[in-house]
Structure 1
Amino acid sequence: MTTEHPQDTFPRQSARTLRYTVGAPRSFAVAPDGSRVVFLRSRGGGDRANLLWTLDPATGVERVAADPHALLVGGEEHLSAAERARRERSREGSAGIVGYALDGAGAQAAFALSGRLFLADLVGGQVRELPAAGPLLDPRPAPDGAHVAYANTAGELRISRTDGAGDRALASPEADGVTWGQAEFIAQEEMDRDRGYWWAPDGRSLLAARADDAPVQRWYIADPANPGTVPAEVAYPAAGTGNAAVTLWLIGLDGSRTEVRWDADAFPYLARVHWSAGGPPLLLAQARDQRTQQLLTVDTASGATTVLVEETDPVWHDLFPGVPAWTPDGRLVRISDEGGARHLRIGDRAVTGAELHVRAVLAVGADEVLFTASAGAADEAAEPGRTGLYQAGPDGVRELGPEDAGTASAVRGGATTVLLTASADRPGTTARVLVDGKPVATVDSHAEVPLLTARPAFTYAGERRIPCAVFLPTGYDAERDGALPVLMDPYGGPHGQRVVQAHNAHLTSQWFADQGFAVVVADGRGTPGRSPAWEKAIAFDFAGATLDDQVDALRALAERYPLDLQRVAVRGWSYGGYLAALAALRRPDVFHAAVSGAPVTDWRLYDTHYTERYLGHPEQRPEVYDANSLIADAPKLRRPLMIVHGLADDNVVAAHTLRLSSALLAAGRPHTVLPLSGVTHMTPQEQVAENLLLLQVDFLKQALGTA
C-alpha cells in the first residue's frame, strides 16, 4: 500500500480512491486445475483503470495479462448507456477492465472494453480483439473455449468464434423493449442476478433469458441543470405495478431453439440459473410475494421442468450467493431456513446446525463445499460483526479462516485457494494464495494507506443484544472532553450489515468521530448476520422495528460511553437516509438533527421485488405502505433536517425527496434540500463525495450548537 498524495485530507483521499478500493486486487478467479490465479487491479491508489493480471502459484510471480491503456492505444473509454446502467446496478465505480469471464480450463479470459470484445490468452500471453457487433455487454467464453457469447445494446445475444473466424446472432429482439441474454432491472438491482445466459457444460448450447419490459411502466428522469437534454426513459417496476415478462430458452449453436416451461404465472421471478456437469440445469423461481419458491430441473431435450424442491415460508425467502448448485457427483447444494436457523444442505441433509448462520456458498468441489457463515443467534460469546470461512466435507464442518481475521472469504480451484481476510486493526483486505492449505504467495495491493486509523469498539447493546460499533475522537480524554454529542450512523435495513470486523468499513465513521462526535453504528433487526428471525422481524414494519432498535441501542450505550443524549444527530444514505429522516420526524424527543441521503420517502415509489418482499403488495396492504411512508409525517418536523439527493438517481428517484420537501413546505416546516446535478445513487464523483462529508459536518455542528 502507498500514500501518493500527502497533501490530501481524509475526505479528499477517500473520494479520490473510491473509499480505498482503487488499487486493491479484486474479482479473483482460480483455474479449475489450480494452475493460475486471475484478478483485476489498477496500477495505483489514484488510478481507477483496472488491468487483468495472473499469478502463478508455483512461483508467486504476477503478470499483466491485459492492459486497457495499451489495448485502446491511450484512448478514452466510451461506455454505452446500457453499460453505465449495468455498472450502476452493481455499484461499480472503477474503469478499465471491470469484469471478465474464463473458459472451462481457465486458460482464456473474455472481457469488454469500451464496448468492444477482447480475449486474453492467459497461457501464451496474447490479447486479441474479436469481431463483435457492439457496444457489447457481459462476454463469456464457452467451456470448451471455441466461442465467446455476449449481449449487446441492440438486445441481441450473439457469439463470436475465438479463432476470429466469425460473429453471428443467436437471438434478436422481435419488438422494442425485448432483450436476449441480459438480466432485467429487477434481477440486477434486487436479485443479485447480473447475467442473462448460461453456457452448457459441453459448449454446444446456452440457456438464454428473454426479457420483455412492455408491462413495465415508464418513468422519465430529467437533468434540470441542462434543460436542453432529453429526459432519460426508464422502465421502472414500482411496487404494485408490472414487472418485465421473463422467459427462458435453450438455444443451440446449430440454430435450434426450445422454450423452457415452468409455471411462470405462479412463479414469475427467475432468480437463479445453474448449469454444470453435476446434473441437469437448475432453476430457482419465486412467487411474486416470495413466500413460495421452486427449485426445478430442466429436460434439455423437451424444455420441460420438474419440481425438485418446493419451499414455503410465512414471511419471505431470501436469495443467497452460490446456490442452488450441484456437486460433481450430483448432490444438490442449497441454503435453507429451518427450525429457526439458516443451514447449508448438501444432498438430503443439513450439514450445519444452529451454531452457524450460513451466508453464502463460495465453491463446490468433489469432496467439499466452501462457504461463509456468522455465529448463530444462540452463541452469546460470538464477537459482533465476524464472518468466518468454513468447509463442509467428509469429516464434517471446520473453520478455515485464520484466527486474526474478522471477516474471511475465498475463491478456490483445484488445490489452489485465494484466502481473503480483513480485520478491524489493519487497513484493507489481505489476499493470500494457498496450495494444499499452505501459503505460497500474497497478492500485492496498490491501494493507498488511509490518512486515519479507525478505532471501533464492538459491543452488544440492550436486551436484544443489538450489534454495535462505537467510535470516539482520536485522543479523546474523558476528564478533559466530557460527554460528547452523538452521531448515529446506521444503514439499518435489509442486506446492509454495517457492524463488520474490517478496518476500512469504518473509516468514515471514525472521521466523523474525529470532528468531535461519539459515533454509533447499530445493526438492529432487519440487518443480516444473526438469524432468520432477526432479519424477518421487520416484516410489514420498517418504521417500527428499525427505529426502535436505534433508540434502544443509543440509550443502552449511554450507560457505558460518554454520550450526551441532549445532542443526538443521525445520518444515513438510501435505507439509512430513510431511517435518518424517520428518526427526525417521529422521535424528536431522541434525535435533534438529521442528514438524510437519497431516502425512500414513499415505498409505493420503490421497486417490486424489494418492497413487496418486506411490506406486501400495496393493493393488499395499503395501510402498511401508509404507516411506513414519511410524507404524512411532514407536519411533525421540528428538528433541523438536511435531505441530499442525486437528480440522476434511477434507483431511489429524486421524486422521493421532492415529495417530502413539498409536504414539509406545505406544512410550513423549514428544512434544507441539497440537490446533486448529474449524480446517481452511487455518488462516485470526487468533488461531490468529498464535499458531501464536509457539508454534513458543518450542518450537524450548527444544528447541535457545537460549531
Structure 2
Amino acid sequence: MTTEADSFPKRHARTQRFTLGAPRSFTVAPDGSRVVFLRSASGTDRANALLVLDLADCTERVAADPRALLGGAEEHLPPEERARRERSREGGAGIVGYATDAAVELASFALSGRLFTAELRAGTTRELPVAGPVVDPRPSPDGRHVAYVAGGALRVVGAAGEDDRALAEPEAEGVSYGLAEFIAAEEMGRDRGFWWAPESDRLLVARVDDTPVRRWWIADPAHPERDPHHVAFPAAGTANAEVRLFVAGLDGSRTEVGWDRERYPYLARVHWSAAGAPLLLVQTRDQRGQVFLAVDPESGGTRMVHADEDRTWLELFPGVPCWSPSGRLVRIADEGGARVLAVGERPLTGAQLHIRAVLDVGDQDVLVSASAGEEAADPEIGEVHVYRVSELGVERVSQEPGVHSAVRAGGVTVLVSATPDRPGARARVLREGDRRETGAPPAGGRRTVAVIASYAEDPKLSPRVSFTMGGARRIPCAVLMPTDYHGDTLLPVLMDPYGGPHGQRVLAAHNAHLTSQWFADQGFAVIVADGRGTPGRSPAWEKAVKDDIAAVVVQDQVDALHALAAEFPLDLGRVAVRGWSFGGYLAALAALRRPDVFHAAVVGAPVTDLRLYDTHYQERYVGHPDERPEVYRRNSVIDDEGLVDAAEPHRPMMIIHGLADDNVVVAHSLRLSSALLAAGRPHEVLPLSGVTHMTPQETVAENLLRLQVDFLKRSLA
C-alpha cells in the first residue's frame, strides 16, 4: 500500500514527471571518442551537471558541476533566460543547455547569468569575466571564441576570456540581437538567434524589433504591491515582431541579408555548415508558401534554392533544411499524400514512412525519425522509430516496439528508447562495427558499447494499457483500466486527450501513460484518443482540422468513445473529459457542444477566445481574424451557442489556470467564466497564483491531480 507521503501525485510532482535524473541533451564527438550529456544526480535533483562518457574505457566523469561552480549560492536567472525556459517548457535547474565547438572539445553554458566554459578532454572548467547577464553562449567551430547575448547585444569573447566586445548592440528600446522572438521560440521550434560561420570568422545574427507588437500586462493578484510586467504578445491578426538578419564579422563589419520580408516575414530556419552557403527557410504569414534561400555572406544577397506551396499550410520540421556533405538540399516535404524525405529534388522515402525529423546527415545516408505511414502493413500504434535512409533503401535502426530517437557522429549513435514495458528511457551507445562479427544483416553492424546510467525514479506504477483503433476513421487510442479491475462492472469513463496539433499522446512508451493510469486506479476507464489534427500519421490527418478545428476534434473524441464501448466495459452514462492547453480547449468544447455525451469537464489553461492566441499558431489553422471573423466565431468556446441554450444540460466544469501564464493568458479562462456566469451555468474556477503555462511547483502539481479526482467523483456520482 502506497503511503500518502509516497503517493503517486507527490512522487510525480517531486520528480517532475519522473524526468529528473535521466540523461539528456547528447552530443557525440566527430571522432567518436566521447559522448557529452546532461544529468542530475538523482531522481529528485533539479540541478543538471555536464558530463562526459569516454568511449575508450566507457567511464563517466563530471565536466561541470553547477553547485561547485556557484559555491552553493542560489541560482538567479535573467528575464531573457526565464523566457527561454518557459518557451521550451524547461523545468530543470543548473546547466539546462550547452553548446560545443566543432570538435566537441570545448563546451560553453550559462549558469545564473554567468558564462562558463569546460574543456571536455582536460576536464577543466573556467568562468569567463564578461558583461552579463549571459544568455545562450556558443563557441565558434574552431573553439577560439564564444559568442553570447547580454543586454540585447550580441557579444564575443576569446575562449580564454580576453577581448570581450559587442558585435551588434540594440539601437533602441525593444530591439535585440541574437535572440529568438516569441513566435520563433514558442511556435516555430527556432530557439536561437545567431549562427557561427564554419570558418569561425563571422556570424549570422537575427535582429528583432518588437516595438510593433502589442503589449500585454501580466499581473500577480496575490501580490498587489508588485508591479505587473509587460510582454510583447503578437495576438492573432495583430503585428508581429520585425525580424532582420545580418552577417556580423569579428572584424566589426556588418552586412544585411536581403529577401522579400514583406512577402515572407517569418524567418523559420537558419543553417550554416561547411557543405554550402548559409541556408534560410522563410515563410509567408499564412504559412502556405515558403522558399529556401542560399545567402552570399559577402554581399548579403540571396538566391532561391527551392520553393513550396500548400493550400492548407506548410509544416516546419526539426533538422531541416540543411545541406548534405555533397551540397544537396535535404528537406522534409508533403508529396503525394505522404510526408517524405527528399535529398536534392528526389524523394528517398514514400508512403510506407511518415518522416518526423532529420537527426543527422552523413556522407552515405540520412538518419531520420519516423512513424509508420498510411500504407504501412503494420500500423504500429504509437511507435516512433529511427531509420537510416540512403539511395539504396531504408533500414530501421531501432528494433523493439517503442518511441526512439538518436544522436549520431563519428560512427557512434546514441539511441534513446522508451518502451511500453520499461519505465523511463534507456540511452544506449552504439558503434558501427564489423557486420560479420555481429551477425547483423548487410545494412546493420552496430554493437552496444555502453548504456548511459539513468537515476530517474521508478514510478512504482505500471500502466495497464491497450492500444487500439477506434471508429471508422481508425483513431489511435490508448485504453487504461484500473490495476485491480476484474471486469465485473461498467466503469465511469475519463477521456484524457490533448487532441490537437503537435501533441501526440498515444505513444508506445511506459511513462507516457502514468498519469492516465493513476486516474484509472481511482476507478475510471481512461481513454486517450489522438484524433484528426494530431501528428504522426499522415499530412491529411493533421490538416483535416483546417478552418474547423473545434468540430473535428470533438467529433473524433465522441467517435472513439462510442466505438470503444463495444470492446471495453464503459458506462456511457458517466463520461468526463480533462485536458490542458489545447486539451483544455477540447474539454470545454466537449462539455458545451456535446452534453449528451460528456457529463463533466476539467478545463486546464484553455484557449477560449482564439483572437487572444498568437499569430503563427492561430492563423495557420483558422486564418486571419479580420478576414475570416465567422471562422473564429465558429471555433470559439466563448461564442459557442451551447453556452446560452437553456435546453442543453448544464454540465459541471472545473476551470484551472495559472495567473502568470504568458502563453495562454488567464483572460481566456476569465472570459469563459464570465460567459458561463452570464448564461447562468454553475462552474468552478481554480486560479493558480504565480504559475505559468507549466506547473513545475511541486505542491501545485501534486494537489492539482487530487483536486481533479475529487471534482470528477463529485460530478459523476
TM-score of the two chains, using structure 2 as the length reference? 0.96
State how far apart, in whole Å, the 1-side matches of 2:104 and 2:429 are: 17
Q: Counterpart of 1:333 in 2: which secondary structure? A: strand
Matches within 5 A, 1:17-416: 17-152=15-150, 154-379=151-376, 381-402=378-399, 404-416=400-412
State how far apart, in whole Å, the 2-side matches of 1:81 and 1:5 are: 39
Runs of 5+ consecutive residues of structure 2 not aligned to the other structure:
433-445
Which piece of structure 1 moves more, 666-675 or 567-576? 666-675
Counterpart residue number, 1:694:
706
Structure 1 position 672 matched with structure 2 position 684 = yes
Which piece of structure 1 moves more, 72-81 or 636-645? 636-645
Counterpart residue number, 2:435:
none
Matches within 5 A, 1:625-640: 625-633=632-640, 634-636=643-645, 638-640=650-652
State how far apart, in whole Å, the 1-side matches of 2:131 and 2:644 are: 55
Structure 1 position 11 matched with structure 2 position 20 = no
Structure 1 position 454 matched with structure 2 position 434 = no
Structure 1 position 443 matched with structure 2 position 439 = no
Does the 8 A contact of 1:57 with 1:416 survive in 2?
A: no
Letter aligned with residue 631 of structure 2: V
Letter aligned with residue 167 of structure 1: D
Q: Aligned match of 2:528 in 503, 513, 521?
A: 521
Q: CA deviation at 1:189?
A: 0.2
Runs of 5+ consecutive residues of structure 1 not aligned to the other structure:
none
Which piece of structure 1 moves more, 46-55 or 164-173? 164-173
Letter aligned with residue 134 of structure 2: L
Structure 1 position 500 matched with structure 2 position 520 = no
Q: CA deviation at 1:394?
A: 4.3
Q: CA deviation at 1:380?
A: 5.3
Which piece of structure 1 moves more, 498-507 or 79-88? 79-88
Letter aligned with residue 478 of structure 1: G
Residue by residue, what CA displacement relative to the aligned partner does 1:160-182 show, whole Å, maximum 9, x if unpaired?
A: 10022221100000000000000
State how far apart, in whole Å, the 1-side matches of 2:675 and 2:491 are: 33
Counterpart residue number, 2:440:
none
Letter aligned with residue 653 of structure 1: V
Residue by residue, what CA displacement relative to the aligned partner does 1:419-454 show, whole Å, maximum 9, x if unpaired?
A: 111111110010001111210000000000002111
Q: CA deviation at 1:186?
A: 0.4
Does the 8 A contact of 1:292 with 1:310 survive in 2?
A: yes
Q: CA deviation at 1:32?
A: 1.4
Q: Aligned match of 1:421 in 417, 422, 426?
A: 417
State how far apart, in whole Å, the 1-side matches of 2:644 and 2:710 are: 25
State how far apart, in whole Å, the 2-side matches of 1:671 and 1:561 are: 31
Letter aligned with residue 95 of structure 2: I
Does the 8 A contact of 1:159 with 1:170 survive in 2?
A: yes
TM-score of the two chains, using structure 1 as the length reference? 0.98
Does the 8 A contact of 1:649 with 1:681 survive in 2?
A: yes
Structure 1 position 616 matched with structure 2 position 591 = no
Matches within 5 A, 1:558-577: 558-577=565-584
Q: CA deviation at 1:7?
A: 4.2
Letter aligned with residue 608 of structure 1: T
Change (3 A) 1:350 1:394: closer
State how far apart, in whole Å, the 2-side matches of 1:702 and 1:536 are: 38
Counterpart residue number, 2:442:
none
Letter aligned with residue 129 of structure 2: P
Q: Percent of pairs identical after alignment?
A: 66
Q: CA deviation at 1:58?
A: 2.0
Change (3 A) 1:5 1:201: farther
Which piece of structure 1 moves more, 327-336 or 530-539? 327-336
Letter aligned with residue 294 of structure 1: V
Q: CA deviation at 1:73?
A: 0.6
Q: Aligned match of 1:578 in 585, 600, 604?
A: 585
Q: CA deviation at 1:131?
A: 2.1
Residue by residue, what CA displacement relative to the aligned partner does 1:28-64 show, whole Å, maximum 9, x if unpaired?
A: 1111111110000000001100000000122111110
Letter aligned with residue 472 of structure 1: M
State how far apart, in whole Å, the 2-side matches of 1:378 and 1:348 are: 23
Letter aligned with residue 261 of structure 2: A
Counterpart residue number, 1:598:
605
State how far apart, in whole Å, the 2-side matches of 1:388 and 1:257 are: 43
State how far apart, in whole Å, the 2-side matches of 1:13 and 1:485 are: 26
Q: Counterpart of 1:478 in 2: which secondary structure? A: coil
Change (3 A) 1:579 1:6: closer
State how far apart, in whole Å, the 2-side matches of 1:407 and 1:593 are: 32
Residue by residue, what CA displacement relative to the aligned partner does 1:608-632 show, whole Å, maximum 9, x if unpaired?
A: 0000000000011100000011112
Q: Counterpart of 2:690 in 1: which secondary structure? A: coil
State how far apart, in whole Å, the 2-side matches of 1:474 and 1:521 are: 17
Letter aligned with residue 458 of structure 1: F
Residue by residue, what CA displacement relative to the aligned partner does 1:441-478 show, whole Å, maximum 9, x if unpaired?
A: 00000000002111210000111000000000002111
Q: Aligned match of 1:544 in 545, 551, 573?
A: 551
Counterpart residue number, 1:653:
665
Which piece of structure 1 moves more, 469-478 or 404-413? 404-413
Q: Counterpart of 2:651 in 1: which secondary structure? A: coil
Letter aligned with residue 54 of structure 2: D
Does the 8 A contact of 2:37 with 2:51 survive in 1?
A: yes
Does the 8 A contact of 1:417 with 1:433 survive in 2?
A: yes
Alignment root-mean-square deviation, CA = 1.1
State how far apart, in whole Å, the 2-side matches of 1:34 and 1:416 are: 6
State how far apart, in whole Å, the 2-side matches of 1:433 and 1:528 are: 28
State how far apart, in whole Å, the 1-side matches of 2:703 and 2:7 are: 11
Residue by residue, what CA displacement relative to the aligned partner does 1:683-705 show, whole Å, maximum 9, x if unpaired?
A: 10000000000000000000000
Q: Counterpart of 2:644 in 1: which secondary structure? A: helix
Structure 1 position 433 matched with structure 2 position 440 = no
Counterpart residue number, 2:484:
475
Does the 8 A contact of 1:57 with 1:435 survive in 2?
A: no
Does the 8 A contact of 2:577 with 2:600 survive in 1?
A: yes
State how far apart, in whole Å, the 2-side matches of 1:665 and 1:544 are: 24
Residue by residue, what CA displacement relative to the aligned partner does 1:202-252 show, whole Å, maximum 9, x if unpaired?
A: 100000000000110000010000001101100000000000000000000
Residue by residue, what CA displacement relative to the aligned partner does 1:241-297 show, whole Å, maximum 9, x if unpaired?
A: 000000000000000000000000000000000000000000000000000000000
